[in-house]
């Protein structure tokens, strides 16, 4: 029997691509997102391949998380794979000039939201002694960059939270994986720049970024390897992205 897969932020980007990938493999799906119009259309499309339950979910609100899970039909209640995908970056200003609301939204979504879902779904996995939590982190959680401030910090939380889950789960057949994508062309930059399409396009201009499908393939793979295997962390960049030299400020420079 195929595991039930719960995907947050399922209406676009990595989440939508993961939904399509798991539907193609015959997994029953539980999809949550705030954009219910897009989510309902995805549910209707994928229902021809597998059983799909989709509903409004705002991971920032514990009451929304609780209601979403409480209202699951019985056939979807035993979550076997949790893909904590909901997350975002907002703004690229230096820390002293950043927008407070942007910071709070990133913390509420990337940290609290991920923690809420994990805390509610994990007990069932432990009780059944089977399951897999996949957290979508970022290379920003490993490597800093100007303007990354709180976004990078929230993804560093994802990394360490994933590691500590593994420590807690030692001896149980529940796996945890942190996927850390680099430059990927989705709606990520459009969200970061508050809908500024031109600025978002420049992020991906004249290069070849990862696609949402690339990440969905990786997420599906880490959950498909033999149960004795746990992929702890998988950092992935497009071939055209790499590290640069350490920054050095020199007197007289701007």
User: What does the domain layout of the chain look like in residue ranges?
Assistant: 4-182+213-235
Mapping DSSP to helix (H, G, I), strand (E, B) and coil, where does residue 6 land? strand
Indicate the Cα dihedral angle 172, 173, 174, 180, nearest 10°: 110
- The label of the residue with tokens 């998988």 reads 234
DSSP structural state of residue 140: G
Q: Which of 22, 116, 145, 151 is catalytic?
A: 151
pLDDT at 221: 98
Confidence at residue 254, expressed as pLDDT on a 0 to 100 scale: 67
| DSSP letters spanning 59-126 | TT-HHHHHHHHHT--GGG-SEEEEEE----------GGG--HHHHHHHIIIIIIIHHHHHHHHHHHHH
Longest Cα–Cα distance of the chain, Å, equals: 67
Q: What is the CATH number of domain 4-182+213-235?
A: 3.40.50.720
Per-residue pLDDT of the chain (254 residues; tens, 9 = 90+): 899 999 999 999 999 999 999 999 999 999 999 999 999 999 999 999 999 999 999 999 999 999 999 999 999 999 999 999 999 999 999 999 999 999 999 999 999 999 999 999 999 999 999 999 999 999 999 999 999 999 999 999 999 999 999 999 999 999 999 999 999 999 999 999 999 999 999 999 999 999 999 999 999 999 999 999 999 999 999 999 999 999 999 998 76
Contact 12, 39 (CB under 8 A): no
Q: Which pLDDT value is given to residue 109?
A: 98
| Whether residue 151 lies in the annotated active site | yes
């Amino acid at each position: 029997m195929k595991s039930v897969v719960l995907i947050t932020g399922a209406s676009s980007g990595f989440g939508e691509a993961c939904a399509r990938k798991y539907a193609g493999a015959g997994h029953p799906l539980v999809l949550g997102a705030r954009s219910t119009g897009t989510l309902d259309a995805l549910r209707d499309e994928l229902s021809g391949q597998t059983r799909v339950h989709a509903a409004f979910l705002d991971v920032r609100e514990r009451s929304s998380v609780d209601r979403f899970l409480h209202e699951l039909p019985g056939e979807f209640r035993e979550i076997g794979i949790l893909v904590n995908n909901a997350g975002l970056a907002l703004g690229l200003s230096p820390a002293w000039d950043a927008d407070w609301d942007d910071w709070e939204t990133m913390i509420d979504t990337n940290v609290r939201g991920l923690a809420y879902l994990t805390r509610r779904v994990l007990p069932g996995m432990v009780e059944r002694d089977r399951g897999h939590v996949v957290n979508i982190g970022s290379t920003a959680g490993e490597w800093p960059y100007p303007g990354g401030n709180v976004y990078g910090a929230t993804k560093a939380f994802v990394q360490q939270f994933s590691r500590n889950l593994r420590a807690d789960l030692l001896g149980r057949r529940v796996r945890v994986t942190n996927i850390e994508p680099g430059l990927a062309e989705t709606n990520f930059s459009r969200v970061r720049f508050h809908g500024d399409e031109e600025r978002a396009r420049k992020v991906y201009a004249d290069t070849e970024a990862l696609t949402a499908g690339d990440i969905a393939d990786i997420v599906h793979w880490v959950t498909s390897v033999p149960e004795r295997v746990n992929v702890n962390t998988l950092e992935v960049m497009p071939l055209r992205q790499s590290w640069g030299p350490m920054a050095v400020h020199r007197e007289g420079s701007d």
